[in-house]
Amino acid sequence: MEKVNHESARRDAPASERISTGVDGLDDVLCGGFVPNRTYMVRGEPGAGKSILGVHFLRAGLEAGESVLYINLEESTKNIRENAASLGLELDGVDFLDLSPDSEYFAQNLTYDIFSPDEVEGDSVTEEITNRVEELNPDRLFIDPLTQLRYLAPDDYQFRKQILSLMRFFNVQGSTVLFTAQATETRPDDDLQFICDGTLNLKRSDEKRTLTVTKFRGSDFQSGPHTLTIDRGGIEVYLNQLPQGTGREFETETISSGVPGLDQLLSGGIERGTVTIITGPTGVGKTTTGIQFMKEAAGRGERSVVYLFEENKRTLRERSNAVNIPVDQMLDQDVLSINETESLSLSVDEFNERVRREVEEKGAEIVMIDGIVGYKFALLGENDELTRNLHTLCKYLQNMGISVILINEVQDITGDFQVTDEGGLSYLADNILFLQHLELNGEMRKAVGVLKKRTSDFERQLREFRITEYGVQIGDPLTGLRGILSGRPAQPDEEFEP
């Protein structure tokens, strides 16, 4: 592969000339990837994922037909290969220069120091490194960890001098260099930040891992922290923000629910690119009403996605199939996706990325979150952060022309009707549809009505709401009753007790 000389590499490189980091999401954070022929540092405590990131970096080079070299100064090559293989990351084709303390070759052949060859007897570590780099002429070079060399230098001045010399040599050779650093209280790594073109900081806590870029010469980057996960397949990075702005063009059209009475209440249905809150007490039919819109969308060949936070997938499937909403068939035809989220299993960034992929890669037209309270309990993060994210997520989906349905459960099962505005979302909602339990002549009944519809007029009467084996059914307007919102309606000639 033709190398780029050191001077031309110092110019700002457009995204088209970047090289991939090999990590899903990290290229987006770096606005396209690394700039070639520059030097980058990965900082973090033990177990933060620094070496795995380096493995991704080298594997991406192999996939691009580049030559790569791994200089390991702490772990043996055998351990590195085994650890990578445990994540499904094979390192066939990667050249190693094993300078780890337990390396048999090192113990027999090298003087463990970082002096120049003319300052010591025998070969030095720096000479061994430079000889190997000249021999392989690698496009990508990973040094893990560079701070290990600090212990071989007589003082910090000699360490910085030799490292700066090494980095200049690598750049002249045309290599893009990634190295790891692990600071301690007595030996910080601040001096290394001055010799590199970019700094990636990895952190981990009991709850989650994060990645933050604090320096990236010649390019903009997305401010962090961003969520980082390590699983089978290695590292994934999830951006902490969703694209906002104009979004994409879409037709502002009305989407039918497929239930004539419900469409009549909503003056035809709900519109694309709007947010609809379906609110009411438990067991009143909120989720079924939302799925009804998806059933009708499936008939048009459109894809929908449901994120369950308050019930499981099996229950939803069984309940929907029993009321003439063929969820199993919709799943088989890939016009519906049901995602069940376990409590505290995802960060906000991960959830946003899942939604984004459903919309941008799989073409979802309707997104339903069931429900708002469960969302706040299930995702990692502070309550205020989760509320802000839900606002941001809804705005992103609106800009993409997606119809959003939010299921909101009020606490009181019966009694005076109330709309619990979880997180101040009512201002964001274009439509608010409410359902209410009723007790009428000793029998439990249900009512449905519309409180808000921003894009058009709507029917202001209340109607009876039923879920039967034939599906959702809407009755005639309940014009002969008063006090319906109290849950205890009465005939006009009866005394009404509020």
Q: Which of 252-261, 274-283, 338-347, 489-498 has the lowest mean pLDDT?
A: 489-498
Q: What pLDDT does residue 218 have?
A: 84
Same domain, 230 and 259: no
Calculate helix-pair angle for 77-85, 50-63, nearest 10 degrees. Answer: 80
Percent of the chain surpassing pLDDT 90: 55
User: What mean pLDDT is predicted for residues 212-219?
Assistant: 91
Structural domain contains residue 37: yes
Q: Residues near 265 by Cβ (< 8 Å), separated by ≥ 6?
A: 433, 448, 449, 450, 458, 459, 463, 474
* Domain encompassing residue 383: 254-486
Residue finishing a domain among 238, 266, 299? 238
Number of domains in the chain: 2
Query: Which residue, 205, 238, 271, sits at the end of a domain?
Result: 238
- Give the residue from 224, 236, 222, 226 showing the smallest Cα distance to 30: 222
pLDDT of 196 above 50: yes
State whether 222 and 310 are in the same domain: no
Structural domain contains residue 493? no
Number of other residues whose CB lies within 10 A of the CB of residue 250? 14
* Residue 262 and residue 294 share a domain: yes
Q: How confident is the model at residue 486 (pLDDT cuts 50, 70, 90)?
A: low
Quote the pLDDT of residue 487: 54
281, 260, 274: which is closest to 432 by C-alpha? 274
CA distance linking residue 73 with residue 230, whole number of Å = 23
Q: Does the residue 88 lie in any domain? A: yes
**Does residue 475 share a domain with residue 354?**
yes
In a domain? residue 15: yes
Closest CA to 286 of 367, 398, 371: 371
CATH of the domain at 21: 3.40.50.300
pLDDT for 389: 87
422 assigned to some structural domain: yes
Domain check: are 309 and 423 in the same one?
yes
> Does residue 473 belong to any structural domain of this protein?
yes
> What's residue 163's pLDDT?
84
Q: Do residues 178 and 67 share a domain? A: yes
Q: In this predicted structure, what is the pLDDT of residue 122?
A: 36
Residues 380 and 480 both lie in one domain? yes
Is residue 497 scored above 50 in pLDDT?
A: no
State the average pLDDT for the chain.
84
Whether residue 194 sits in one domain with residue 48: yes
Q: Mean pLDDT over residues 8-20, rounded?
A: 62
Same domain, 138 and 227: yes
pLDDT at 491 exceeding the cut of 90:
no
- Whether 262 and 223 map to the same domain: the answer is no
Instruction: Provide the pairing of β-strand 379-380 with 346-347.
Output: parallel
Q: Is 391 helix (H, G, I), strand (E, B) or coil?
A: helix
Characterize 422-440 residue by residue with b for buried, 16 or more Cβ atoms within 10 angstroms of its Cβ, and e for exposed. Answer: bbebbebbbbbbbbbbbeb
Do 153 and 217 sit in the same domain of this protein? yes
Residue 398 has pLDDT above 50, yes or no: yes
Q: What is the pLDDT of residue 374?
A: 87
Stretch 75-100: mean pLDDT, rounded? 94
Residues 312 and 343 in one domain: yes
Q: How far apart are CA 400 and CA 359, in angstroms?
A: 8
Report residue 271's pLDDT band, with 50, 70 and 90 as the boundaries: very high
**246 occurs within a structural domain:** no
Q: Is 234 left (phi over 0), alpha (psi -120 to 50) or beta?
A: left
pLDDT band at 376 (very low <50, low <70, confident <90, very high): confident
pLDDT tens digits, one per residue of 296-334: 999 999 999 999 998 899 999 999 999 999 999 999 999
1 pLDDT more than 50: no
Residue 378 has pLDDT above 90, yes or no: no
**0.85 surpassed by pTM:** no
Range of lowest pLDDT (1-10, 282-291, 354-363): 1-10
Beta-carbon contacts of 51 under 8 Å, excluding residues fewer than 6 positions away, are: 75, 80, 83, 144, 180
- What's the pLDDT band for 24 if we cut at 50, 70, 90? confident
Domain assignment present for 1: no
**Which pLDDT belongs to residue 424?**
64
Which tens digits make up the pLDDT trace of 439-474?
777 788 899 999 999 988 899 888 999 999 999 999
Q: Which of 187, 213, 238 represents a domain boundary (last residue)?
A: 238
CA separation for the pair 296, 491 (Å, rounded): 36
CA–CA dist 282, 6 (Å, integer): 66
Asked if residue 282 has pLDDT above 60, the reply is: yes
- The pairing of strands 140-144 and 176-181 is parallel
From the list 245, 314, 241, 288, the residue with the least C-alpha distance to 433 is: 288
When pLDDT is cut at 50, 70 and 90, the band that residue 342 belongs to is: confident
